[in-house]
Amino acid sequence: PAEAVVRIDPQAAEIIPGQHTTVAVMLDAAATRPVVAATMLVQYDPSIVRPVQCTPPAGSPLQGACNPNFNATQGLIKFNLV
């Protein structure tokens, strides 16, 4: 397997109840071994935030799916990229 790092941008956001914000979830992989497929879990605090939508960026070379309701009790979003 290739080494990869998942980044969230921005790393922190200050929002008030009822307000929406957008964060980017990025996969940085070593250039010597390209990513063919990846499954990622992103964890959040469900007592503070509620994810509502996943949208792929325009022009992204990766395709896949995102489930913002994968495990709302534990605060997990699942990403599958190919």
Residue 10 — φ and ψ, nearest 5°? -75, 155
Alpha-carbon 59 to chain mean position: 17
What is the CB neighbour count within 10 angstroms for residue 62?
Answer: 13
Q: What is the pLDDT along the chain (82 residues), one digit of tens a residue?
A: 667 788 899 998 888 888 988 888 888 877 677 777 888 899 999 998 899 888 877 777 767 888 988 999 999 999 888 7
Q: What is the CA radius of gyration of the chain?
A: 14
